């Protein structure tokens, strides 16, 4: 039986199927009301881990979650990310890993989320212009001051994870990963060996067709589930440290996603899926 909970950092127990809030970026009052309703419905359905970031609407996503869910129910963990700043030129963003900048962003996140402490604070990207000991040292100082509880990373390699862990304990890693995109399998295995939570973003491959899609659909039909549920169930079965965070703005899709932890793959079904070719 696949475990349905995980303790991030050894003490933050969450349901392994979480909710990624990235898509909750309304442009109208009507859309905002719908996004608020989806966030609230996620919690009603038992979600205890919600992932957001400063990058998602440059703080607007954090504001929306606070509007929807504050005062937060006991046991709900809202994890956010810092380390990216908006610009008016180029790609529209820049790395921001200097300790002073990270400190400012953490203070901003605390204000927007209406929190005294962020239980899990993740560095959205390592800043190539700032030494890793400086970036992680700044987060360690914020942890020691009580502004954050646990520290996570996003889009890192095994060597970067190792270098970061030499500075401070790392509780989570958030890399792109799904059934058909396993480029970061070595990072997952490193997390598994260390008991670090692995939060795959883009946990369901989009636009899949051909033989791979047919095989996923066949397993779904055998189980009376949907292909999306099968893809998420595979993640849950693949490693005990995987905490998928699928996102949506649709209440129906939300219920579909969260139904995945009741889908139990047989060993033969798991093996068939694992054998599928990966990559584009």
Known catalytic residues are 56
Rounded distance between C-alpha atoms, residue 88 and residue 19, angstroms: 30
Q: Please, which residues bridge with residue 153 across strands? A: 123, 173
Exposed, middle or buried: residue 152 (CB in 10 Å: 0-12, 13-18, 19+)?
Answer: buried
Closest by Cα among 196, 116, 108 to 152: 196
Helix boundaries (H) for 88-145: 99-113, 132-144
Which two tokens mark 48? 């205890």
**For residues 76 and 165, what is the distance between their CA atoms, to the nearest angstrom?**
26
Q: Report in angstroms the alpha-carbon separations of 77 from 120, 158, 182, 207, 209.
A: 8, 26, 27, 31, 36
Question: Angle 227-238/251-258 helices, nearest 10 degrees?
Answer: 40
Q: Are strands 93-95 and 84-86 parallel, antiparallel or unpaired?
A: antiparallel
Helices (H) and strands (E) in the chain, counts: 10, 11
d(CA 160, CA 148): 21
Nearest to 14 by CA among 120, 148, 173, 121: 120
Query: Which of 27, 26, 44 minimizes the C-alpha distance to 35?
Result: 26
Burial category of 224 from C-beta neighbours within 10 Å (exposed 0-12, middle 13-18, buried 19 and up): exposed
């Amino acid at each position: 039986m696949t475990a349905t909970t995980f303790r991030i950092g050894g003490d933050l127990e969450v349901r392994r199927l979480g909710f990624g809030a990235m898509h909750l970026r309304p442009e109208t009052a009507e859309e905002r009301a719908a996004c608020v309703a989806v966030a609230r419905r996620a919690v009603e359905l038992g979600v205890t881990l919600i992932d957001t970031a400063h990058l998602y609407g440059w703080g607007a996503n954090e504001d929306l979650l606070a509007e929807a869910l504050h005062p937060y129910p006991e046991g709900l963990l809202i994890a956010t990310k810092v380390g990216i700043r908006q610009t008016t030129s180029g790609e529209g963003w820049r790395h921001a890993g200097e300790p002073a900048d990270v400190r400012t962003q953490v203070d901003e996140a605390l204000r927007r989320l209406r929190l005294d402490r962020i239980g899990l604070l993740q560095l959205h990207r390592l800043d190539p212009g700032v030494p890793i000991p400086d970036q992680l040292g700044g987060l360690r100082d914020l942890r020691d001051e009580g502004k954050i509880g646990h520290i996570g990373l996003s889009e890192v390699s095994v060597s970067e994870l190792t270098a970061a862990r030499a500075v401070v304990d790392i509780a989570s890693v958030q890399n792109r990963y799904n059934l058909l995109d396993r480029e970061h399998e070595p990072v997952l295995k490193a997390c598994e060996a260390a008991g670090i939570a692995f939060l795959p973003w883009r946990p369901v491959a989009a636009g899949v067709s051909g033989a791979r899609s047919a095989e996923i659909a066949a397993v779904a039909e055998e189980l009376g589930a949907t292909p999306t549920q099968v893809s998420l169930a595979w993640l849950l079965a693949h490693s005990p440290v995987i905490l998928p965070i699928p996102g949506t703005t649709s209440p129906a899709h939300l219920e579909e996603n969260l139904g995945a932890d009741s889908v139990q793959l047989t060993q033969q079904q798991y093996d068939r899926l694992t054998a599928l070719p990966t990559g584009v």
